[in-house]
Amino acid sequence: MIVYICNVKSSTIKYLVKNYTDYKQEIITGRYITLANIEPIIKKLSDLFTIKKIGFSLKKQSIYKITIGNGKNKILFWSQMHGNESTGTKAIFDLFKFLHNPKKLKKLRDEILENCTLVFIPMLNPDGAKKFTRLNAQKIDLNRDAVALEAVESVLLNRVLYDFKPQYCFNLHDQRTIFSIGEDNKPATLSFLAPSIDKARTVTKGRKETMRIIAGINDDLKYLIPNQIGRYTDEFYPTATGDNFQKSGFNTVLIEAGHYKDDYQREITRKYNFIALISGIHQVYVIKKSTYKAYFKIPENKKNYLDLIYTNIFINDEKKAFGIYLKEQLVKNKIIATPIIKELKNYSYLNANKIVRVKHIFNSITEFESFLLEKKYFFDDFTLS
Ligand SMILES: [Zn+2]
């Protein structure tokens, strides 16, 4: 049996990878992306896009809706509902640049705009973005507020959803570095989810449609980042945005942007996130011949990746191994990573961005901790040494 997936032509994907710098919105880079970074770009988009302020965050920062295209396939995208998850925002602005000037891919751009109406909310939680926090200013997790609608930002998203009534939604997030894929535990650079609508995780008609889109995106990207695309757990979260939107008939693709080796600014991940968006849009309007079943062949995310592993630490003559997670925090407008140390009894099954095998001798764990803290993991010039 031939399973035909309507993916983007592989030559187009290759072109996007090779010429990515033409589409990269260079003005926004790194992890700390705030409204002040994106607002000047939004103001320049009005020649091609329709820009509307849909309201304000709790701290009175503007929330924008950006529309383009005239097609019957309606797709809604939003990013940074978790303020410190900015990779999706960067990918959206790359997509804007592509739509503005597609270079040699004019045919693909025109095809997208004829077939689709695209609506973007590129930073749903500007207060969280400013403080580099997951939560909004009321300390509400917007991705757990779909039923209660306690946050003003959740109300705005809901209003856009019911006004626009999209066939598909793309809910853009970042996942932590800990997620890994496959036997080799490579980092989960992109993970996807077709959210469940009930505890039994029933594979409904709508979920099958969402799964088909994800299977198509995976088919387009799996050769670019082999064994680095994962499937997120489809455990049902009764108050989550995706689960509720999917339940209400709006198929929702969740994209989690994750780690790529040494890419702590997530600038490489951003490129694949951008290509995943183009692929995803394409899957929505092509003739639907692909199968949702391929979704289940995408390997599930595991949590077997660390930032650092030290295998040869001697404390009071006893050999130990330690795993290090870097916790990112905003300190004086810079993202700083603080090492969180965990002793590893068995690390053979784990992988890390860097594995340090050089022998180090300390008198206590506290001394080892001080040694790590002195390294000062500033994300601006981030290197793991
Ligand atoms: Zn998130």
Q: CA-CA distance, 384 to 361, in Å (whole number)?
A: 19
The answer to whether residue 376 scores a pLDDT higher than 70 is no
Q: Are residues 256 and 336 in the same domain?
A: no
Classify residue 55: in a domain, yes or no: yes
Last residue of a domain, one of 297, 332, 350: 297
Write the DSSP assignment of 160-206 as a string of letters.
HHHHH--SEEEEEEE--TT-EETTTTEE-SEEEE---SSTT----HH
The answer to whether residue 57 scores a pLDDT higher than 90 is yes
- CA of 114 from ligand 1 middle (Å) equals 31
The token duo for 160 is 């856009």
Q: Are residues 183 and 159 in the same domain?
A: yes
Q: Are residues 334 and 252 in the same domain?
A: no
- CA of 336 from ligand 1 middle (Å) equals 19
User: What percentage of residues in the chain have a pLDDT greater than 90?
Assistant: 87
Classify residue 356: in a domain, yes or no: yes
The answer to whether residue 76 scores a pLDDT higher than 50 is yes
Over residues 283-302, the mean pLDDT reads: 89
Q: Are residues 86 and 158 in the same domain?
A: yes
Q: CA-CA distance, 271 to 335, in Å (whole number)?
A: 21
The answer to whether residue 346 scores a pLDDT higher than 50 is yes
What is the layout of strands, in order, in the sheet containing 168-174? 50-56, 62-68, 116-121, 73-79, 168-174, 251-257, 190-193, 229-231
Q: Are residues 26 and 157 in the same domain?
A: yes
Cα-only R_g, the chain: 21
- CA of 82 from ligand 1 middle (Å) equals 5
Q: 123 — phi, psi (to 5°)?
A: -160, 95
DSSP type of residue 113: H
Classify residue 5: in a domain, yes or no: no
Which pLDDT band, with edges at 50, 70 and 90, does 336 fall under?
A: confident
Classify residue 383: in a domain, yes or no: no
User: What percentage of residues in the chain have a pLDDT greater than 70?
Assistant: 95
Give the number of other Cβ atoms within 10 Å of residue 3's Cβ. Answer: 11
If one compares 289 and 102, the residue with the highest pLDDT of the two is 102
The answer to whether residue 374 scores a pLDDT higher than 90 is no
In this structure, the strands spanning 190-193 and 229-231 are parallel
Determine the pLDDT at residue 3: 40
- CA of 159 from ligand 1 middle (Å) equals 21
Q: Are residues 246 and 349 in the same domain?
A: no
> Which residues form the domain of 367?
306-378
Q: Are residues 23 and 40 in the same domain?
A: yes
The token duo for 194 is 């077709």
Q: Are residues 51 and 91 in the same domain?
A: yes
Write the DSSP assignment of 42-57 as a string of letters.
HHGGGGTSEEEEEEE-
Q: Are residues 230 and 287 in the same domain?
A: yes
Question: Using an 8 Å Cβ cutoff, are 87 and 177 in contact?
Answer: no
Could you write out the three-class secondary structure of 199-228? Answer: CCCCCCHHHHHHHHHHHHHHHHHCCCCCCC
pLDDT tens digits, residue range 186-234? 999 999 999 999 999 999 999 999 999 999 999 999 999 999 999 999 9
The answer to whether residue 30 scores a pLDDT higher than 50 is yes
Distance (Å) of CA 164 to CA 94, 149, 158: 23, 18, 10
Number of domains in the chain: 2
Task: Return the CATH number at 75.
Answer: 3.40.630.10
pLDDT tens digits, residue range 115-138? 999 999 999 999 999 999 999 999
Give the number of other Cβ atoms within 10 Å of residue 110's Cβ. Answer: 11
- CA of 326 from ligand 1 middle (Å) equals 17
Last residue of a domain, one of 297, 329, 344: 297
Q: Are residues 167 and 20 in the same domain?
A: yes
Q: CA-CA distance, 19 to 363, in Å (whole number)?
A: 52
- CA of 142 from ligand 1 middle (Å) equals 9
Determine the pLDDT at residue 331: 86
Sign of the alpha-carbon dihedral angle for 135, 330, 126, 274: negative
Q: Are residues 127 and 266 in the same domain?
A: yes
Over residues 158-174, the mean pLDDT reads: 98
Q: Are residues 234 and 344 in the same domain?
A: no
Classify residue 66: in a domain, yes or no: yes
pLDDT tens digits, residue range 238-288? 999 999 999 999 999 999 999 999 999 999 999 999 999 999 999 999 876
- CA of 358 from ligand 1 middle (Å) equals 36
Classify residue 18: in a domain, yes or no: yes
Question: Using an 8 Å Cβ cutoff, are 322 and 367 in contact?
Answer: no
Classify residue 200: in a domain, yes or no: yes
Last residue of a domain, one of 257, 274, 297: 297
- CA of 154 from ligand 1 middle (Å) equals 14
